[in-house]
A and B are shown apart, each in its own frame.
Chain A
Amino acid sequence: MPEYLKCKDWWKIESFRKLGKDIILGTVEIDRAKCKGCGLCAGACAASALELKDKKVKMIDVLPACMSCGDCVAICPRGAIQLKGYFQLKRYFRYLDRGEPSLPRKF
């Protein structure tokens, strides 16, 4: 069971379970000790999946439509965000012929 299905407000979106079969959303992990709440990541997020709460940033509870683009990881001046789960599609739109994600490699 993916992590975001465990969140408590899933019933607010009726077709959430159905969506979970087709799409695995990306997840980021936020180091709450390093986060100073500058809000740069929340502003940069394309999916509005991050929000500021009590001067700390966190992923929204209801359907954080994260596509693991990594903009928040790159913009964070303190390196508090890490990509954990990668966006994946299933059925017709599934990604083909892909390996493990990695940083630019030197050959």
Chain B
Amino acid sequence: MNEVKEDLEQGTKSKIIPPESGAPFNAVEEVIYRRRSVRYYQDKQVPDYLIRRILETGRFAPSSGNTQPWKFMVIQNQELIKEMSRDVVKMMRLLMKFADYIEKGTWWKEWISKLFQRFSNNMFHPVPAAAMKLIAEEKLGVWHGAPTVIFLLMDRRSAGDPMVDVGISGQNMVLTAHSFGLGTCWVSFCKPIGMMPKWKKRLGIKFPYKLVTTVALGYPRGVPDGQVPRETQAIDWYEEDGSFKVIY
């Protein structure tokens, strides 16, 4: 034990001391607590060096077995983004013809939407279902007019849960972007793009890659970052002395 201690003293690295109880939030916590999804962007393009810096942090995310199963695509071509949004809107409109349980339809529509919900309860959860309806009605932009969109792709052959690994690397990038004062928003309504053969061919998404999700990136209008209340989830706590408690 003593040897280790000496090594730490002699080395060039310094050890980080954890904060005291009740100490103010540090810079990382501050970024995490103030991060909000930004859905209102300026037209100004993000410079390349900032995007490179953001992508670099995504590269250093933890992954299962250090497989690093991600691939990033940066799309700044506004024509391409517009074309993709148009196709997403088209697909959403088609979907809303069959599955729409907000507006009352005919008897078969209600029945089919229930069926959709039963077999894909994440995609047809009431919140994304309402958002899909808004996209179909063009009240909500797919990428909210962001000047840059980062596509996150995963390597299907990878170890463990590559989708989780991609999510971790994406969150690294998002937090870095917010620490630079940029705005981001996770957009998973890109799923039709990953399914349509036309776009798969055009963007070169082929085996082993699969489109997981996208992150819209840009300078926000106003100052959207700030603290808002969030729900407190129950935490089951198995203590050292064998007792158990639930805290919030």
Contact = CB atoms under 8 A, between A and B. Distances in A.
Contact of A44 (B40, B127, B228, B230): B40
Interface residues of A, number: 42
A19 interface: yes
B2 interface: no
Interface centre among A13, A74, A103 (most CB of B within 10 A): A74
A99 interface: yes
13 contacts: A15-B104, A44-B221, A46-B37, A47-B130, A48-B139, A65-B134, A71-B224, A75-B226, A83-B229, A92-B121, A98-B231, A99-B232, A100-B232
B25 interface: yes
Contacts of A46: 37, 39, 131, 140
B229 A70 contact: yes
Contacts of B121: 92-93
A67 B228 CA distance: 13
B166 to A, nearest CB: 23
A1 B102 CA distance: 20
Interface of A: 13-15, 18-19, 22-23, 38, 40, 43-48, 63, 65, 67, 69-71, 73-75, 77, 83, 86-87, 89, 92-93, 95, 97-104, 106-107
Given A48-B140, A97-B233, A106-B22, A22 B126 contact: yes
Given A45-B39, A103-B227, A104-B227, 6 more contacts: A43-B40, A46-B37, A77-B222, A83-B229, A93-B125, A103-B229
A77 B225 CA distance: 11
Interface of B is mostly: loop
Could you say which interface size class chain B belongs to? Answer: 35 or more
A101 B227 contact: no
B229 A102 contact: yes
